[in-house]
Amino acid sequence: MKKYFILCFSMLGVLAISFSQAQAQQDTATMDQDFLSKAVNDNRFKVAIGSQALERSNNDAVKQFAQGLVTDHTRALEELEQAATAKKLVLPDAINENHASILKAVGGLSGDNFNTAFKDVMVKSHEDAIALYELAAGENGLTDPELRTWAGEKVQTLKSHLEKAKALPVTTAATKDKSGK
């Protein structure tokens, strides 16, 4: 009888360890999937809002920045799509609701109002993306080494975009009041 209890407890221990390992694998796969979904959403959003700026802006600096956004984030999106296929991860079907509402709100603006809103959205969006990618590339980040490396490689581009967004010369109502124009 004693051997039976030892065997039962041993089996329970093995099952508990197996379950915790399976749970850990599921959690790490979930973390990689979550990053991929957020990164795809972010890149789709930046391509869409960059395209909007190319159509709606009257500011050459904004248009030049927008073209760079479209180019860089289209490339990143293609790389993410290839990674998703190779790693059997699921791509989101469409831009998330938050990004869609921002696109709609900014898309309803024109002229200086559009340019100012675009600049503000790009600064905030790139700050958020940098935080996401740095976390993904960090020591406790993604479990997939290729995705972790890829995320780390993109941080510098995102930081460059952030600095360019901050430097966009847009005219605001306050600027017009001060200049008298």
pLDDT single digits (tens) 1-15 = 455 445 444 444 444
Cα Rg of the chain, angstroms: 23
Q: Where are the domains positioned within the chain?
A: 39-168
Per-residue pLDDT at 5: 45
Residue whose entry in the numeric block shows the structure tokens 């993604």: 142
Average pLDDT, the chain: 85
The pLDDT of residue 6: 53
**Separation between Cα atoms, residue 36 and residue 82, nearest integer Å:** 11
What is the value of pTM for the model shown?
Answer: 0.80
**Token pair for 102:** 């921002």
Selection from 17, 48, 23, 24 nearest residue 121 by Cα: 48
List pLDDT tens digits, range 158-173: 999 999 999 999 986 5
pLDDT value at position 136?
A: 97
State the Cα–Cα distance between residues 119 and 49, nearest whole angstrom.
Answer: 11
What's the CATH code, domain 39-168?
A: 1.20.1260.10
Nearby residues of 104 by Cβ (< 8 Å), 6 or more positions away:
none
**CA 96-90-82 angle, 5° bins:** 105
Q: DSSP character for 94?
A: S
- Per the CB < 8 A criterion, the answer to whether 34 and 75 are in contact is no
Check residue 143 and report its DSSP letter: S
pLDDT average, residue stretch 64-87: 96
Tell me the HSE value of 41 on the side-chain side, using a 13 A CA sphere. 22
According to the model, what pLDDT value does residue 14 have? Answer: 44
- Contact between 126 and 49 under an 8 Å Cβ cutoff? The reply is no
